[in-house]
């Protein structure tokens, strides 16, 4: 780096940050990409790693290898903890800091338990690769424990899996657990029958996939029920503990015995959202998202952009959803605005081009809404497969994930069924040490 060129710092190597850097890298600027992880994660397939269908390496690409040949891109594995927009500096947890000419903040989301710290301690979520592996570990260990259990009530509780929140992540988790139980684990055990597995999907709204068209919600619920998922809509979680959840529905309260609760109900912006609010007085919404100007910059700071799950952007009176395509388009847009400013041009307002939404329910079943064209079943699943493969970063991932899928589809197998690492909240009694 020359030190004289315009220096852009990008915080976050997710869909937003990655696309920002890819847009900037072709130009005569210096870029520092900061991430606390050393890889870009393909979040839409993370649930498949949790469900023992894919290995971490299939859905993650080292950031350094993506930008290996880009001399003007520096990757820094560090956790940004402070931003000073007046001094134009970013500070890291290590105490070190870096200055910038322009900054793009794309630090993403975190799961949000609405202040219930006790729930967060016992529930599992998909906040990154480590958490996905924890889900895999907990589910597989529950079956191992159940196989050795003589108490039928405890056995039933061990084979009960509860997913809170029926957005795409919750639907995908529920569908794949039900399929794993009925197909992959068939014949694996001698005392228990994995087909006895209960998968409960709890949703506060009156239908699954509330952000989708109601027709598709109906189809998705039907598909879920067909593969054995019990869907409870209009249900509010009242408590999550190590051995049960309590759910209120139709005026009554039910206690469900379970040792595995997965949380897919609420997300919030990275804490850097609140930090920017304090540092710039830019308003934030209830989810901690920064309400940015139409060009995605922070009001009053034309060289500071916030994008993706951290940005609150309204279009047609609705805030844009926290989806990969939104973050990708915003990453490209923010990068383009920085280049326009360097060139002395006016910035432009961001406009999201909605190419559709989709969610997969299980083997050969999905729902998709492509600009009003509503698909379900096998066609939607093929489309889902194609779109996700095409978006996977790097040829290697594409090839391997495709082979893995073809293999799983042909054999119903899940070869990644390994219990690695330790679970601090393992089911009771047997000290299962992998």
Min. distance of Cβ 115 from its own copies in angstroms? 24
**3-state SS string for 62-79:** EHHHHCCCCCCEEEEECC
Nearer to its own copies, 34 or 224 (CB): 34
Q: Does 403 bind its own copies (CB under 8 A)?
A: yes
Which tokens in the block code for residue 236? 């509010």
Tell which residue, 255, 306, 265, 301, has the closest CA to residue 284.
Answer: 306
- By the 8 A CB rule, do 284 and 274 touch? yes
Per-residue binder mask for its own copies (CB under 8 A), 407-426, x = binder: x---x-x-xxxxxxx-----
Nearer to its own copies, 287 or 413 (CB): 413
Residue selected from 5, 23, 65, 382 as contacting its own copies according to rule CB under 8 A? 65
Q: What angle do CA 107, 111, 115 make, to 5 degrees?
A: 120
Residue 369 and residue 372: Cα distance in Å, rounded? 6
* CA-based torsion, 67, 69, 73, 75: positive or negative: positive
Tell which residue, 233, 67, 37, 221, has the closest CA to residue 128.
Answer: 37
Q: Which of the residues 114 through 173 are near its own copies (CB under 8 A)?
A: 129-130, 133, 140, 144, 147-148
Choices 170-178, 183-191, 246-254, 302-310; region in contact with its own copies by CB under 8 A = 183-191
**Annotation says 172 is catalytic:** yes
Q: Which of the residues 14 through 53 are near its own copies (CB under 8 A)?
A: 36-39
Residue 236 three-state SS: strand
Q: Does 286 bind its own copies (CB under 8 A)?
A: no
Q: How many residues bind its own copies (CB under 8 A)?
A: 61
Choices 54-62, 105-113, 232-240, 296-304; region in contact with its own copies by CB under 8 A = 54-62
Nearer to its own copies, 78 or 235 (CB): 78
* CA-based torsion, 97, 102, 106, 112: positive or negative: positive
DSSP H or E segment with residue 359: strand 357-362
Q: Does 74 bind its own copies (CB under 8 A)?
A: yes
Catalytic residue among 172, 203, 254, 274: 172
User: Strand pairing partners for 267?
Assistant: 111
Residue 378 and residue 434: Cα distance in Å, rounded? 38
What are the catalytic residues? Answer: 172
- In the complex, the residues that contact its own copies under the rule CB under 8 A are 1, 36-39, 55-58, 60-62, 64-65, 68-69, 71, 74-79, 93-94, 96, 129-130, 133, 140, 144, 147-148, 185, 187-190, 394, 396-397, 399-400, 403-404, 407, 411, 413, 415-421, 429-434
């Amino acid at each position: 780096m020359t030190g004289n060129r315009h220096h852009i710092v990008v915080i976050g190597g997710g869909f937003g940050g990655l696309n920002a850097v890819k847009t900037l890298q072709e130009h005569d600027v210096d870029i520092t990409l900061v991430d606390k992880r050393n890889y870009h994660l393909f979040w839409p397939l993370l649930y498949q790693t949790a469900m023992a269908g894919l290995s971490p390496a299939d859905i993650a690409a080292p950031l350094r290898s993506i930008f290996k040949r880009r001399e003007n891109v520096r990757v820094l594995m560090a956790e940004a903890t402070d931003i000073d927009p007046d001094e134009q500096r970013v500070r890291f947890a290590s105490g070190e800091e870096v200055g910038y000419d322009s900054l793009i903040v794309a630090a993403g989301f975190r799961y949000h338990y609405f202040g219930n710290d006790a729930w967060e301690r016992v529930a599992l979520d998909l906040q990154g690769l480590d958490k996905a592996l924890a889900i895999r570990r907990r589910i597989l260990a529950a079956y191992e424990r159940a196989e050795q259990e003589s108490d039928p009530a405890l056995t039933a509780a061990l084979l009960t899996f509860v997913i809170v929140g029926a957005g795409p992540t919750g639907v995908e988790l529920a569908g794949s657990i039900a399929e794993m139980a009925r197909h992959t684990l068939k014949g694996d055990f001698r005392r228990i029958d994995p087909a006895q597995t209960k998968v409960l999907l709890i949703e506060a709204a009156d239908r699954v996939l509330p952000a989708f068209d109601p027709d598709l919600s109906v189809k998705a619920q039907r598909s879920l029920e067909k593969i054995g998922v019990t869907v409870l809509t209009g249900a509010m979680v009242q408590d999550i503990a190590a051995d049960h959840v309590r759910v209120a529905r139709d005026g009554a309260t039910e206690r469900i015995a379970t040792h595995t609760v997965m949380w897919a109900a609420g997300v919030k912006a990275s804490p850097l959202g609140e930090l920017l609010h304090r540092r710039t007085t830019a308003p934030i919404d209830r989810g901690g998202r920064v309400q940015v100007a139409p060009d995605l910059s922070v009001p009053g700071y034309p060289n500071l952009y916030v994008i993706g799950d951290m940005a609150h952007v309204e279009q047609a009176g609705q805030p844009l959803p926290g989806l990969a395509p939104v973050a990708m388009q915003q990453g490209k847009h923010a990068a383009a605005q920085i280049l326009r400013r360097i060139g002395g041009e006016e910035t432009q307002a961001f406009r999201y081009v909605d190419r559709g939404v989709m969610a997969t329910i299980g083997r050969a079943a999905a729902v998709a809404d492509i600009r009003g064209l509503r698909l379900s079943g096998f066609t939607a699943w093929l489309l889902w497969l194609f779109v996700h493969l095409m978006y996977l970063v790097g040829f290697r991932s594409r090839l391997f994930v495709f082979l893995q899928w073809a293999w799983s589809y042909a054999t119903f197998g899940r070869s990644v069924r390994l219990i690695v690492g330790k679970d601090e909240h393992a089911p009771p009694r047997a000290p299962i040490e992998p």
